[in-house]
Amino acid sequence: MVEKRKPIPVEEAVKKVMEFYIEQKSEKVPLEQSYNRFLAEDLVASHDVPAFDRSPYDGFALRSVDTESASSESPITFEVVGEIGAGYVFRGEVKPFQTVRIMTGAPIPAGCDAVVMLELTQEVADESKKIMQIKRSFKQGDNISYQGEDTKKGTVLVEKGTKINPGVVALLATFGYHEVNVAVKPVIGVIATGSELLSVDQPLEPGKIRNSNAYMIMAQIDRAGGEARYFGKFNDDFEDCYKATKDALAQVDCLITTGGVSVGDYDYMPAIFEKLGANVLFNKVAMRPGSVTTIAKVGDKLIYGLSGNPSACYVGFELFTRPILKTALFNKQPHLRKTKATLGVDFPKPNPFMRLVRGKVEYGESELFASPSGLDKSGVVSSLGGADALIVLPGGTRGYEKGMKVDVLLLEDLGGSEWPWSNIVPSYR
Amino acid sequence: MVEKRKPIPVEEAVKKVMEFYIEQKSEKVPLEQSYNRFLAEDLVASHDVPAFDRSPYDGFALRSVDTESASSESPITFEVVGEIGAGYVFRGEVKPFQTVRIMTGAPIPAGCDAVVMLELTQEVADESKKIMQIKRSFKQGDNISYQGEDTKKGTVLVEKGTKINPGVVALLATFGYHEVNVAVKPVIGVIATGSELLSVDQPLEPGKIRNSNAYMIMAQIDRAGGEARYFGKFNDDFEDCYKATKDALAQVDCLITTGGVSVGDYDYMPAIFEKLGANVLFNKVAMRPGSVTTIAKVGDKLIYGLSGNPSACYVGFELFTRPILKTALFNKQPHLRKTKATLGVDFPKPNPFMRLVRGKVEYGESELFASPSGLDKSGVVSSLGGADALIVLPGGTRGYEKGMKVDVLLLEDLGGSEWPWSNIVPSYR
C-alpha cells in the first residue's frame, strides 16, 4: 500500500547533488552595478599602490640630510620653493635647504627623502621669500609612503567567486575595472503545487493555506545570488503539474517544485519525475525536516522536489540548491558557513534522523550561543522569520543537552564552507 | 599657520550625530519586491496557525476511542467512508469504526480526534467496501496539529524595522501581506572631491589616483539599505565644490562628501561648510583612521565631510552614516553589531586615539578570532576587500597583545546593536 523509501544520510545526499553542476558563465557589468555580484575572475592589482612615492600628510618635503643638526635651540630654516596639491607633480628639483609645501597624497618631489608634518613647522617672516623653520631632525623615509608598499602590481587581491562587497568595489575602482567580469546569475525556476494553496491576496478558506513557499524560495534564490523565475502554483492535478514542470524545465538552469513529494495519494511529483524520464538521485533523506526531499536529474538539469512544509522546503533549498547555485557563481565554498555554538536548550528526545533546527545565534562574551528561533516542527512557519542559523543535531539514540557544543550552519553569512558535513559531533567541552 | 582642532572621543561624536534623524517614511511594495527591505510596521499573525485542526501526516483520521482494544493479536477494522486531500474539507461526520483517508495538511473531519499514519495501517480485501485495519491503539490528539498551536492570531511575529529575509517573506505570504509596508529608502548623496582623482576608466597619470571612494560609499549605502545618488567628482576648486555641494544637498536626505576636510591649503570643505551656514558638530575625532572626519548640520540636513583616504572614508560611513540610515529604516539597533573576539596579532604601538582596524573574523572551535585583513594604514585600500569587521582598540598609553579579548564590530551582519560604544575594554579573559 505504501511505497517503501530508503533514507540516505544528509552527507551522502549532498554529495550526490554536488556531482551535478550548472555551467559557469560570466558577463560584464558596469562597476556601479557590481555590488553583491560574484567575481568571475581574480581581481588583480593593475599597478603598484601607491603608484608613486607620496606624502601621507600635509607638510613639507625636504632632504633629511639638511635637518641633521636641527633642535629647539638651533632651528634650521628652509626656503619654500614650491607647493604641490594632490594630483599635481613638482617639476623642479629640490636643492639643499630648500623645501616644497606638499599636500596629502601628492608625489614626493625629486631630491626629497622625507616629509615634515605641517604641525611641526613654523613660518618665518621674510619679505622677499617664503621661509619655513623646523626644530628637530628627520630621517630618510620619514612620512613617505613608498611606491608599492601597500600592494605590488600583479598581486591577486580578491579571488574569483568572491561576493563583491563595498571594499571590493573600492579595489575594483582603484585598479580601473570600470566594467567588471561577474558570474551570470543562474536561473532557478519555482513551481508550487498543492490544491490547498491560495494566492497571497486571497482570503482564507476552510482547509486552505496561502502559498508562502514560492515567495520564500524566490527570496532564498536571491540571497544566494541566483535569479528566480516563478511559474505559478498548481492544484494537485497530474496533467497540469506535468505540463508546467516540463515547460518550466526548458527555460531554467534548475527547477524547484514544492509539495507533492510525499507518499500520499495526491503526491504526483514522483510520477511526474518518472514521466519526465528523470534519474532520481534520492527520494528520502535521513533528516528532519525534509525527509521526503526528492532530487532528480532530467537530461542535464536538476529538478528539486522539495516538501510542501515551509521549514522542510527552506532547509531543502539551503542544503541542496544553495551549493549548486554558489558553485555556478565560481564560489569555492558553496555550502553554508559552519561554526560551533553552545546549545541554549535541551533536545531530550532522540531522533534517528539528523535534525536541522531553525535557530538564532547570539554572541556571548567568549562564545556563540544557538537556540531554536521557534517551534521545531516542519509545518511551523513562525520559526523561519527569526532564524539566522540551522542547528545541526545528528541522528541517533540519544538527545542533546543545553550547554553542549554543537555545529551550526549560518544562513546570513557571506562566507561559506567547502564541506560542512564532516565531523559533526556535538560534545561537552 | 595651522588651524588647531580639538578631537572628541568616538562615543561622543556618534552621540552628537544621533541627535539628528531622517524622517521615517513608509511605502507599499508588492511582496515579490519586499526581500531585503525593512518592515515599516510589525508583522502580525492575521489568523491562527494552523488556521484549523489539521493532519501533519498522510494517514487515516478516526475516533481514538474506537482503537482502545487494538493489538497485533486482535486488530480492529474501520470502514473508509471518504478521503480528503489537502485543500478540501470532509463534509460528513465520522461515526464509530469509520475512518477517513486524510492527506498531509488536510483538516480533521468532524468527530475524529486522532490520525493514524499510513505506514501503521493495512488495507483489507473486501469487495463491497473499503476496509482499513490497525494493530495498536491511539490516544486523543495523536498526530493532530491543533488550530493556533504554532501561532495565535494577533501575535507580533516580526518587529517593525527588521530587514526582510526569506523567512520573513514566508510569514508575510502566510498572513496575506501581498503588499508590504516597508521603509522608504533614505536618499544619500555622494560627492567626491580632489584634483588627484581620475575617473575609473581613465589611465593612471603621475600623481593621480582613481576615484574609488564614491563607488565604495555607494555600495555601503546600498548595503545599509539606503539609496545612493552620485553627484560626480570635482577638483579642489572652492566655487565648483561649493556649488555642487549646495545643489546636491537640496536633493537628498543626507550628503556625503569625501576629501578636502584636512587642514591642507586645498582642503576647501571646512570653508564650504562655513559658506553653507553649517553648524559643525565636530571636525576632529579621536580615532584612526578618520580623525579629520567633519560632520555638520545645514538646516535640517546632515552633511558628512569624510576623509579622502579610502579606509578613513569607509570607517567614517559605518560609524556615522549607517546608524542614521538604519534609524530612518525604523531599525532600533542601528549601529554595527558588536561582539568579542580574540585578537590574532600584536598591536605593540600605543596610540592616543581609538583605532578601528579593518579585520577579518574567523570562527574557532569555541570562540571568534579577529585579525587585520591587511596593512593598517588609512591610505591603504587592499585591506578593505577582505574586511568583515572593525577591530576596536581604544586609545591610550599601551598596545594590545595577541590573545586578548577585544571588541569587534561586524560589517556584514544583518543584526545590529543599540549602542556599541559603552564598555569597550580589551582584556585577558
pLDDT of residue B3: 64
Best mutation target, A212, A268, A288, A339, to test chain B (most B CBs within 10 A) = A212
Examine the pLDDT at A315 and tell me if it is beyond 90.
Answer: yes
Cβ-in-10-Å burial (0-12, 13-18, 19+) of A298 comes to middle
Q: Do B218 and A367 touch (CB under 8 A)?
A: no
B-chain CB neighbours of A106 within 8 Å are 196, 207
CA–chain centroid gap for B297, Å, is 27
Q: Do B381 and A170 touch (CB under 8 A)?
A: yes
Residues A355-409 pLDDT 10s: 999 999 998 877 889 999 876 665 567 788 899 999 999 999 999 999 999 999 9
What sign results for the dihedral spanned by CA atoms A128, A129, A134, A140?
Answer: negative
Peptide bond before A289: cis, by omega within 30 degrees of 0?
Answer: yes
What distance in Å separates residue A170's CA from the closest CA in chain B?
5
Q: What is the mean pLDDT of residues A117-133?
A: 91
Tell me what the pLDDT averaged over chain A comes to: 93
pLDDT of residue A113: 97
CA distance B174 to B41: 16
Domains of chain A: 10-25+184-328 (3.40.980.10), 28-45+158-183 (3.90.105.10), 59-134 (2.170.190.11), 337-410 (2.40.340.10)
Contacts of residue A416, Cβ cutoff 8 Å, sequence gap at least 6: A326, A331, A333, A334, A335, A336, A337
Q: Do A207 and B367 touch (CB under 8 A)?
A: no
Which comes out higher in pLDDT, residue A128 or B144?
B144
For cell 607633480, name the residue: A89
CA distance A302 to A299: 8
pLDDT of residue A382: 77
B-chain CB neighbours of A50 within 8 Å are 209, 379
Residues A318-369 pLDDT 10s: 999 999 999 999 999 999 999 999 999 999 999 999 999 999 999 887 788 9
Residue A120, C-alpha cell as written in the block: 611641526
Contacts of residue B4, Cβ cutoff 8 Å, sequence gap at least 6: none
For chain A, the distance separating the N- and C-terminal CA atoms, rounded to the nearest angstrom, is 48
Q: What is the mean pLDDT of residues A174-193?
A: 97
CA torsion, points A384, B102, B51, B40, in degrees to nearest 10? Answer: 30
Distances (CA, A) of B112 to A265, A373, B103: 20, 32, 14
CA distance B417 to B14: 13
Q: Do B366 and A366 touch (CB under 8 A)?
A: yes
Contact A321, A329 (CB under 8 A): no
Q: Which of A85, A194, A210 shows the shortest C-beta gap to B266?
A: A85
Which comes out higher in pLDDT, residue A366 or A52?
A52
**Helices assigned H by DSSP within B157-309:** 166-174, 213-224, 238-249, 269-275
pLDDT of residue B1: 41
Phi-psi region of A43 (alpha: psi -120 to 50; beta: other; left: phi over 0): beta
CA distance A62 to A141: 11
pLDDT of residue A218: 98
pLDDT of residue B363: 85
pLDDT of residue A1: 41
Which comes out higher in pLDDT, residue A185 or B424?
A185
pLDDT of residue B376: 62
What distance in Å separates residue B219's CA from the closest CA in chain A?
5
User: Which residues in chain B land under pLDDT 70?
Assistant: 1-3, 375-380, 429
Examine the pLDDT at A182 and tell me if it is beyond 90.
Answer: yes
Distances (CA, A) of B90 to A275, A381, B102, B110: 31, 25, 9, 8
What distance in Å separates residue A249's CA from the closest CA in chain B?
22
Q: How confident is the model at residue A274 (pLDDT cuts 50, 70, 90)?
A: very high
Which comes out higher in pLDDT, residue A257 or B85?
A257
Interface ipTM: 0.94
Examine the pLDDT at A308 and tell me if it is beyond 50.
Answer: yes
CB contacts < 8 A, A to B, total 370
Phi, psi of A272 (to 5 degrees): -65, -40
Residues B276-324 pLDDT 10s: 999 999 999 999 999 999 999 999 999 999 999 999 999 999 999 999 9
What distance in Å separates residue B47's CA from the closest CA in chain A?
9
A-chain CB neighbours of B53 within 8 Å are none
Query: B187-193 and B227-234 as β-strands: parallel, antiparallel, unpaired?
Result: parallel
pLDDT of residue B45: 95
CA–chain centroid gap for A267, Å, is 36
Q: Which of A87, A165, A194 shows the shortest C-beta gap to B412?
A: A165
Residue A305, C-alpha cell as written in the block: 522536489
